[in-house]
Amino acid sequence: MKAKLILENGMIFHGEAFGYLEETVGELVFTTVMTGYQEVLTDPSYHGQIVVMTYPLIGNYGINLEDMQSDRVRVKGFIIKEDAKLPNNFRCEITLEAYLKQNKVMGLKNIDTRHLTRIIRDTGTKKAVITTRDLSQEELGNIFSSFSNSDAVKQVTRKDILKIKGSKEKIAIIDFGIKKHIIESFAKRNCDIRVFPAYTDYETIMEYNPDALFLSNGPGDPEDLPEAIELVKKVIGKKPVIGICLGHQIAALAMGGKTAKMRFGHRGGNHPVKDIEKNKIYISSQNHGYKVTELPEGTELSHVNLNDNSIEGMKNKELKVYTVQFHPEASPGPEETAYIFDDFLNMIREG
């Protein structure tokens, strides 16, 4: 079926619909990962977004149910150049199109994804709609004005407390849209884990008496989460605070730093990051549309992005705060920054 992508600036891309055939609107972003499309689809940090895959052939190894990063597809729409009709992999359990249909997510294929990506890079992320209809300017205006992603964390956070037994450090995780592999990264280090909903109060967390508070990744603007910022303010100085991605931004705001929206964000598995203390460069996995623009007082830069010199990590040794912007669990992406989890735990032990 013929379908089209309509950007809020009026540009239109014509292609073919696949997956679940239902009109969808979201924030248009791109990712440069070449593999790991099912991790992209299920990453809660993509909630509310229509994702463009820059790699041209998607679906060639199908979908398996082991590598999901959450319990369902989180993207609002999925745009690719070409889909693989006959996936070939021994782990394949379902095709990409069948998986999108099962999760009621609309896809668009056979468009110039390179051209579309260049537009996003040049003009920034923007709202877009995938549709099979001819829409008037009034209808488009109503669709775009009705879309908001300000409650994204509320939509993706867990509703109850998850307990995972371990014999080492007690880690209280605040779930802003956490990826499964982040939890697994702590679990395989034998941590005792409690995963709390995003809006859990200070008293409930302190009843667990954790050795550290971990702030997870998640979607949206950190300034939309004043309750989380206030929670972190209460914890800092009493317990070590560690975090990734959105958690990094929330910690910065809690200590008096500043954040801002990026023009098109960092989304991919090939971002070079320098660890200043180790004086080494690593290739990192990233997925964020906001960044820390000003470090809090008394906090030092720990990592920097070598593409644009943006802040990728910070430490406050006195207050025991250590956060990074990239995804050290790397799902999808290279795993060479997984040492960050060991650094987190070493900081807790030294404290």
> What positions carry a catalytic annotation?
245, 327, 329
At residue 57, the 3 state secondary structure works out as strand
Residue written as tokens 């991919």? 268
312 DSSP assignment: E
Closest CA to 287 of 266, 263, 264, 309: 266
Q: Which residues pair with 242 in a beta bridge?
A: 214, 322
Closest CA to 259 of 310, 197, 322: 310
CB atoms closer than 10 angstroms to residue 14: 12
Angstrom distance (rounded) from CA 334 to CA 269: 7
At residue 317, the 3 state secondary structure works out as coil
Evaluated on CA atoms 283, 288, 293, 297, the torsion sign reads negative
DSSP characters for 188-202?
A: TTT-EEEEEETT--H
What Rg do the C-alpha atoms of the chain give, in angstroms?
Answer: 20
Angstrom distance (rounded) from CA 158 to CA 174: 10
Q: Which two tokens stand for residue 229?
A: 């910022």
Burial class of residue 207 (count of CB atoms within 10 Å of its CB; 0-12, 13-18, 19+): exposed
Task: Please list the alpha-helical segments (H only) found in 163-225.
Answer: 180-187, 202-208
Contact 125, 144 (CB under 8 A): no
